[in-house]
């Protein structure tokens, strides 16, 4: 297998490294401190074509594959995972349901504004009693006339505070469990839909995690995605794909922590010499770098399979599991290398650690990833 990047991909990597360093890194600490929506940076990402990177050209995008997607996610997350997440989550979670299961009219109406950054799309699945078990969701859709009436509440919805378009998952019959799950596209401003509480989080500040409320919210039938009962398949297809990009996100955070640690240990002096000369520091750096590169290879292999349309549920789960846990490990070691400076907010290390933790939780916890891998190996029993 050829592990090298094409010249075009190398150029993409260089361009985005420069963009992230100039446009995202300088404001990363402020966004983290204030939890403010980085509107200007999201606009600049859209102007660069990132908000439609994987969307076909006929719907306003660039039509790039998952290797390009992972390159972009890694480079942007290295500068600010919180800002980069607006790009990653909208494209990896919210766009695929419409792209893969929507009608031509739905794609034109919703993907074009996403591509140019005018109207972001979010993915609303999680509820208080339905996280890792989406078949238990309580939000209902009742057929009425030429549409459906939605009632229920979604929690922890990333980009939920800013998105103009919501892909929401409901049930048309709770007794059917996963077979009753049905997906709809809801536009902000629809009567009966509102944004509730915005969560205060440990990390990924600036990225909203919103409560979305549906109270007798009428949605026309043409806004249904697929058929009744297709929602479970639609949701899992999107989540399986998104795991690859969460892994790339985790790698970007890890790489930032390693780069900072190499730089700091080369400059910091104790006992008359730089601390990079001490074997204890060298071994930590060596382990960090090795773990990151192993995570990167798993991730880009999963992206390669995705681009070739080869089933990769196990591989994407492996990539997310390993890369996310590596990210927590690497950022923890980075703080140790920085000592007291790593623990204060004047340095970005503590932000890296807080951001890294979320990659082990959202879009499939590490425990769910282990279950997915095990089932691929031995079956369900």
Under DSSP, the state recorded for 4 is P
Nearest-10 crossing angle of helices 66-79, 279-307: 150
Q: Output the CA–CA distances (angstroms, integers) from residue 150 to 174, 193, 212, 276, 314, in the order listed.
A: 14, 9, 12, 59, 34
Q: How many CA atoms lie within 13 A of 322 on its CB side?
A: 21
Measured at the CA of 142, the angle between CA 136 and CA 148, to 5 degrees, comes to 115
Q: Output the CA–CA distances (angstroms, integers) from residue 320 to 53, 109, 229, 295, 359, in the order listed.
A: 21, 32, 28, 9, 8
Question: Would you state the structure tokens that stand for residue 211, as one six-digit string?
Answer: 């409560």
Cα 256 to Cα 79: distance, rounded to the nearest angstrom = 7
Cα 239 to Cα 75: distance, rounded to the nearest angstrom = 22
Q: Which of 8, 293, 363, 367 is catalytic?
A: 363
- Of the candidates 169, 126, 175, the one whose C-alpha atom is nearest the C-alpha of residue 150 is 169
Cα 169 to Cα 124: distance, rounded to the nearest angstrom = 6
Give the residue ranges of DSSP H helices in the chain: 7-19, 25-34, 39-47, 66-79, 81-89, 95-101, 104-115, 231-267, 279-307, 313-338, 340-343, 349-358, 366-378
Cα 193 to Cα 168: distance, rounded to the nearest angstrom = 11
Question: Would you state the structure tokens that stand for residue 50, as one six-digit string?
Answer: 């990132």
Rg of the Cα trace of the chain? 21
Q: Output the CA–CA distances (angstroms, integers) from residue 296 to 32, 248, 370, in the order listed.
A: 26, 7, 19
- Of the candidates 244, 268, 270, the one whose C-alpha atom is nearest the C-alpha of residue 359 is 244
Among this protein's residues, is 23 annotated catalytic? no
Q: How many CA atoms lie within 13 A of 29 on its CB side?
A: 8
H/E stretch holding 344 reads none
Kindly list the catalytic residues.
363
């Amino acid at each position: 297998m050829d592990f090298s990047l094409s010249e075009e991909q190398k150029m993409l990597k260089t361009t985005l490294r420069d963009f992230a360093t100039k446009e995202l890194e300088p404001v990363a600490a402020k966004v983290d401190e204030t939890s403010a929506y980085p509107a200007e940076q999201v606009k600049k990402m859209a102007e660069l074509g990132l908000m439609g990177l994987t969307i076909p050209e006929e719907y306003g995008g660039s039509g790039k594959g998952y290797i390009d997607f992972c390159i972009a996610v890694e480079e942007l997350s290295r500068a600010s995972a919180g800002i980069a997440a607006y790009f990653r989550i909208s494209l990896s979670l919210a766009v695929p349901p419409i792209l893969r299961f929507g009608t031509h009219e739905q794609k034109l109406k919703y993907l074009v504004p996403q591509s140019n950054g005018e109207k972001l799309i979010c993915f609303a699945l999680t509820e208080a009693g339905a996280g890792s078990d989406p078949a238990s969701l309580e939000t209902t859709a009742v057929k009425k006339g030429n549409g459906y009436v939605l009632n229920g509440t979604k929690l922890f919805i990333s980009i939920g505070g800013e998105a103009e378009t919501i892909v929401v998952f409901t049930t048309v019959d709770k007794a059917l469990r996963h077979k009753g799950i049905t997906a709809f596209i809801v536009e902000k401003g629809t009567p009966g839909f509102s944004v509730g509480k915005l969560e205060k989080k440990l990390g990924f500040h600036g990225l909203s995690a919103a409560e979305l409320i549906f109270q007798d919210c009428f949605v026309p039938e043409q806004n249904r995605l697929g058929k009744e009962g297709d929602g479970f398949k639609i949701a899992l297809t999107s989540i399986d794909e998104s795991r690859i990009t969460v892994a790339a996100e985790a790698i970007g955070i890890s790489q930032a922590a390693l780069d900072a640690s190499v730089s700091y240990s080369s400059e910091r002096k104790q006992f008359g010499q730089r601390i990079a000369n001490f074997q204890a520091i060298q071994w930590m750096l060596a382990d960090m770098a090795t773990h990151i590169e192993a995570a990167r290879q798993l991730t880009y292999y999963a992206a390669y399979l995705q681009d070739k349309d080869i089933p990769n549920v196990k591989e994407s789960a492996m990539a997310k599991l390993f890369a996310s846990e590596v990210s927590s490990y690497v950022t923890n070691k980075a703080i140790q290398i920085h000592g007291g400076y790593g623990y204060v907010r004047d340095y970005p290390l503590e932000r890296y650690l807080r951001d890294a933790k979320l990659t082990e939780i959202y879009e499939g916890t590490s425990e769910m990833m282990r279950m997915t891998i095990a089932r691929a190996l031995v079956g369900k029993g």
